[in-house]
């Protein structure tokens, strides 16, 4: 296992057995996200992207009460009072943009509150696995703020416009079973089983061909987004990379020989 050195200890990151782990470590504030934490998450993702041994990333919140209870409102208000609102927005946006460049599978392991900016973070994951005691909500209307366009786009794609509007108009927190039924979550498991379930899930993914998963992630994101922004040339290149890879040969050989393939990502 390798621990990463990050600019704040409010985010922990490590690499082990092909999995990159990011933990929001601000449990005293229900893992409310500060700018320093956004910067640290971006630094961890940058490291994971550059390391071919890391096949996927799992992010979680420390403790049992919250995945993330949104932005650190105190920091946000302080910077606004100091006339630094634009700086706050720019730094947070830049860090989120780094997360969006991750071409490896990203799993959000969610326990407890997943609210506002915390839900926006979970929406950036490809897969969301939650404990049965988790709750989800967007209190933007109770704070007088507008939820980010990208987050609304992703939320609406998952739950549909009707339920997305209900969430935003009411600011209600919803339990995990409703979030799952509406399509927000991939799996809901008992809290005691959450970490083991996600670890098993991650190990299955880590054994698969990196180029295939990269092609799948990028292509699905492209075809489920705005058709006008679809990059057909890039999608075709991803397919060619798989077709011309050593991993394709390995996968075919392993199938013939009835053994588990050992993929190298090339």
Quote the pLDDT of residue 89.
87
> Which of 28, 29, 24, 30 is CA-nearest to residue 10?
24
Quote the pLDDT of residue 80.
87
Quote the pLDDT of residue 143.
87
**How far is the C-alpha of 62 from the C-alpha of 24, rounded, in Å?**
6
Quote the pLDDT of residue 259.
95
- H/E stretch holding 235 reads helix 232-243
pTM of the model: 0.94
pLDDT means over runs of 10, the chain (266 residues): 92 97 96 95 97 97 93 88 89 91 97 95 97 97 89 95 98 98 98 97 96 97 88 95 96 94 93
> Which of 91, 97, 100 is CA-nearest to residue 72?
91
Give the CA angle between residues 183, 188, 191 to the nearest 5°.
Answer: 150
DSSP-assigned letter for residue 23: E
Judge contact between 91 and 40, C-beta under 8 A. no
Per-residue CA distances from 173 to 1, 119, 159 (Å): 37, 11, 15
SS (H, E, C) 80-145: HHCCCHHHHHHHHHHHHHHHHCCCCCEEEEECCEEECHHHHHHHCCCEEEEECCCEEECCHHHHCC
> Which of 30, 18, 19, 22 is CA-nearest to residue 6?
22
Judge contact between 116 and 146, C-beta under 8 A. no
């Amino acid at each position: 296992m390798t621990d990463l050195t990050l600019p704040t200890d409010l985010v922990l990151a490590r690499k082990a057995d092909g999995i990159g782990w990011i933990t929001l470590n601000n449990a005293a504030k229900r893992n409310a996200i500060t700018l320093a934490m956004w910067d640290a998450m971006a630094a961890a993702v940058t490291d994971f992207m550059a390391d071919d041994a890391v096949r996927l990333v799992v992010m979680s919140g420390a403790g049992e009460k919250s995945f993330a209870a949104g932005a650190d409102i105190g920091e946000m208000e302080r910077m606004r009072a100091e006339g630094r609102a634009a700086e706050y927005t720019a730094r947070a946006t830049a860090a989120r943009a780094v997360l969006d460049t991750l071409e490896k599978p990203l799993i959000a392991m969610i326990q407890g509150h997943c609210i506002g900016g915390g839900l926006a973070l979970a929406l950036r994951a490809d897969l969301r696995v939650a404990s049965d005691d988790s709750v989800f909500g967007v209190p933007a209307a109770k704070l007088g703020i507008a939820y980010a366009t990208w987050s609304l786009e992703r939320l609406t794609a998952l739950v549909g416009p009707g339920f997305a509007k209900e969430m935003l108009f009411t600011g209600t927190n919803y339990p995990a079973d409703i979030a799952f039924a509406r399509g927000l979550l991939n799996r809901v498991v008992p809290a005691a089983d959450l970490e083991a379930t996600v670890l098993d899930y991650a190990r299955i993914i880590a054994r698969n061909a990196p180029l295939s998963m990269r092609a799948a992630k990028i292509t699905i994101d492209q075809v489920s987004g705005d058709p006008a922004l679809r990059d057909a040339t890039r999608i075709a290149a991803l397919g060619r990379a798989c077709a011309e890879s050593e991993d394709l040969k390995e996968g075919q050989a392993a199938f013939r020989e009835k053994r588990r393939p050992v993929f190298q990502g090339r």
